[in-house]
Amino acid sequence: MDAVNDFLIFLDGFLGSAIWFPTFLLSVGIFFTFYLGFPQIRYFKHAIGVVLGKFDKAGAKGDTSHFQALSTALSGTVGTGNIGGVALALHLGGPAALFWMWMTAFFGMTSKFVEVTLSHKYRTETEDGSIAGGPMYYMEKGMNAKWLAIIFAIATVLSSFGTGNLPQINSIAAGLESTFSLDPLITGSVLSVLLALVIIGGITRIAKVAAAIVPTMSFIYIFGAFAVIIPNLGNIIPSFASIFSDAFTGSAATGGFLGATFAYAFDRGVNRGLYSNEAGQGSAPIAHAAARTDEPADEGMVSILEPFIDTIVICTITGLVILSSGVWMEKFDNEFQRADMNFVSGHLLESNTDHKQELFSYLNGDESAVTSYSGDVILQNGQIQNLNDFTLIAARSFAENIVFSRDGNAISGSLSVSGGQLVDTAVAVNGRSLLHSVPLTTVAFTRGLLGDYGKYIVSIGLMLFAFSTAIAWSYYGDRAMTYLLGAKSVLPYRVAYVLAFFYAALADTTIIWNVSLITIVLMTAPNLFGLLFMHRDMKQTVTDYWKKIDHGKRKT
C-alpha cells in the first residue's frame, strides 16, 4: 500500500497539486463571472424564487422538482468535504486555505450556473423514459465532440468511486469507531445494505431521500457548530484576521503546525474547495438535468445557491470551529496512519527554527538538507532506543510519546525502515501528533458548550452528510454508464459501487483522500474546457431566458 500511496502522490504532483489546475479552475469561474455580469450576485434572489416554485410551469418535462434537484445535488456536495475536507485544508495550508476555499465558492457559483444550464439544455430522454443529462450531452450535442463526452463520462464513473464513494464511508467508519468504538466492519456492512436499498430505486427514490436528509443534517451540524463558536467568540475576530492576513503570504509556524507557503495554501484551499462544492467538476449538472422545467436557465439559477450553502456557509462554520478552538495547531494522542508517517535521518528538534524550516521544505518537496531514513529502529518495551539516528514525523508534525506495538503488545527488538517507511505493515505506532480530516473536526466540536457530547454531533452529521453524498454520486455514475454502455450496464455498476463502498470502510484514510484528489481532476479538466468552448451558447441562452421573464414573473 505504501507503493500505491507513493504512486498516487506522484500522479497528484502533475494534476491537482500542480499549480495549473487550481489556477485554471479559478480562471474559468472568473472569466464567466465577468462575461455574464456577476450572475452569482444579480440572480441570487431570483434563484430563491425558482426553488420555491414561483416560476413553475405545468406539464414541464422532468423527474424531480427544483427543490428535490437542489437537495440531490447538495447531498452530493455537502459531505465529508465539509467536515473532513475543511479540516484537511487547514491542517495543510493553515488559515489562508479557508480564504481560497471562499474564492473557489464565489466564482464557483458562476461556474455551476453555466455547467447546469448547458447540461439541462442538451439533456435527453432515455429508453426507459427517464431524463439523462450532464456535461457529456452538451459536449456531444453542443460541441459535436463525442470523443470529449466519452472521456468525461469515463472520468465521471471513476470519480463516482474516488469522490462520492470511497472517502464517504471511510470517514463515516473512522468517525463512528473513534466516537462509539464501532467496528468499521459493522459500519461498512450495515450502510452498504442501506445504500443498495436506496440506489436501486433510481433518481425518484434518491431525490426523496435527499430532500429529507439535507435539511435535517444541516440543522444538526450547525447547532453543534455554534455550541463551539459561542464560547469561543473572543477568538473569532483573530481567526478572520489570520484568514485574510495569511491569504497572500502563507501561514507562519505556530504550535505543532509547521507553517505553509502561499502556493501551498492556495493549492490546498482551491482543491479542497472544489472537493466540497464541486463547482466546475460537472457532477451536479447530472442531478439538475432531471428537474421539471423547460427553461435550462431556470435550473441554472437554482444551482447558484449550491456553492453558497455548501462552502460559504457550512465550510466557513466548520473552519471557524477549528480555528477558534485552536485545535488545528495542537497535538493529540492517536494511532498514526502509515501514509502520515515519515522517518527522516538525524535527530531533529522542534525547538530548533532551522530544523523546522528544513523539514517544512522537505515535506513540500523543495530543496532541503533533510533526507529519508533507511535503517533500524531499536526498541525496548515499545520505546525508541536510538533516538539520535532518526526523527519520526506524523501528520506533518514532530511525533511525541511514541510507542511501537504489534497485536496490542509493545515491541522489543529492531524494526527495519526503508525510504522513510516501516517495512513491517503489521506494526501499530501510537503517540502525539497533529490531527487532520474528521478526527480534527471531532476534537474541535468537544471544545464548546456540549463538551465531549459534541463529538456525537460530528458523528451523526458525518454519517448523514457522507451517506447522502454516496447516494447522489451513485446516480451520477449510473447516468455516465448509461451514456457509455446503455441501461443494461447500470445494474453491474451499482453492484460494484456497493462493494467498493463496503471495502473503503476498512481502507487507509490518507490513500482514500489521495485517490479523490486525482479523480476530481480527471473529471473537472474536460468539463472546464467544454464550458469555455460553449461560452457564446451560454450567453445567448441567458439572454433568451430574460426575454421570457419580466419583473419576477414569467411572460405568457
Give ranges for CATH 1.20.1740 in the chain.
2-51+64-330+444-548
According to the model, what pLDDT value does residue 288 have? Answer: 87
In order, the DSSP letters of 116-174 are HHHHHHT-EE-TTS-EE-SHHHHHHHTS--HHHHHHHHHHHHHHHHHTTTHHHHHHHHH
For 135-174, the pLDDT digits (tens) are 999 999 999 999 999 999 999 999 999 888 888 888 788 7
C-alpha atoms less than 13 angstroms from C-alpha of 369 in its C-beta half-sphere: 8
Do residues 491 and 128 lie in contact, with contact meaning Cβ atoms separated by under 8 Å?
A: no
Closest residue by Cα to residue 284 from 300, 295, 298, 270: 300
Using left for φ > 0, alpha for ψ between -120 and 50, and beta otherwise, residue 502 falls in alpha
Nearest-angstrom CA–CA distance, 271 and 157: 20
- What is the average pLDDT score of the chain? 88
Question: pLDDT-based confidence at 43, cuts 50/70/90?
Answer: very high
Tell me: the pLDDT tens digits for 225-254?
A: 999 999 999 999 999 999 998 888 888 888
- Grid look-up 456536495 returns 77
Percent of the chain with pLDDT over 90: 51
Alpha helices (H) along 253-368? 262-277, 284-288, 296-303, 305-307, 316-325, 353-363
- In which band, very low, low, confident or very high, does the pLDDT at 76 lie, cut at 50, 70 and 90? low
Q: Residue 542 contacts by C-beta under 8 Å, 6 or more apart in sequence?
A: 36, 39, 117, 297, 300
Cell digits of residue 75 = 447531498
Pairwise CA distance, residues 77 & 190, whole Å: 23
In the chain, % helix, strand, coil (3-state, to 5) comes to 65, 10, 25
Our measurement of the distance from residue 538's CA atom to the centroid of its chain's CA atoms, rounded to an integer in Å, reads: 28
pLDDT band at 516; cut points 50, 70, 90: confident
Taking residue 539's Cβ as centre, other Cβ atoms within 10 Å add up to 15
Write down the CATH number for the domain with range 2-51+64-330+444-548. 1.20.1740
Average pLDDT over residues 319-341: 93
167 to each of 16, 19, 31, 553, how far by Cα in Å? Answer: 17, 24, 31, 43
Taking the C-alpha atoms of residue 214 and residue 221, their distance in angstroms, rounded to an integer, is: 11
How far apart are alpha carbons 255 and 146 in whole angstroms?
52
Amino acid making up residue 157 = V
Q: Which of 23-37, 122-136, 167-181, 468-482 has the highest mean pLDDT?
A: 23-37
Question: Taking the CB of residue 127, how many other CB atoms lie within 10 A of it?
Answer: 10
What is the spatial distance between Cα 288 and Cα 302, in angstroms, rounded to a whole number?
9
Dist. CA 388–CA 375, nearest whole Å? 12
What does the alpha-carbon distance between residue 77 and residue 98 come to, in Å, rounded to a whole number? 17
In the prediction, which pLDDT does 325 show? 95
pLDDT at 1 over 70: no
Whether the pLDDT of residue 509 is over 90: the answer is no
Is 90 exceeded by the pLDDT of residue 111? Answer: yes
Maximum mean pLDDT: which of 98-102, 428-432, 503-507? 428-432
- Higher local confidence (pLDDT), 277 or 448: 448
DSSP 375-427: EEEEEETTEES-TTTEEEEETTEE-EEEEEEETTEE--EEEEEETTEES-TT-
Residues 359-411 have pLDDT tens digits of 988 887 788 999 999 999 999 999 999 999 999 999 999 999 999 999 999 99
Say whether pTM exceeds 0.85. Answer: no
φ/ψ of 39, rounded to 5, equals -65, -30
Q: Are 466 and 172 in contact (CB under 8 A)?
A: yes
pLDDT above 70 coverage of the chain, percent: 96
Q: Which residue has cell 485552536?
A: 326
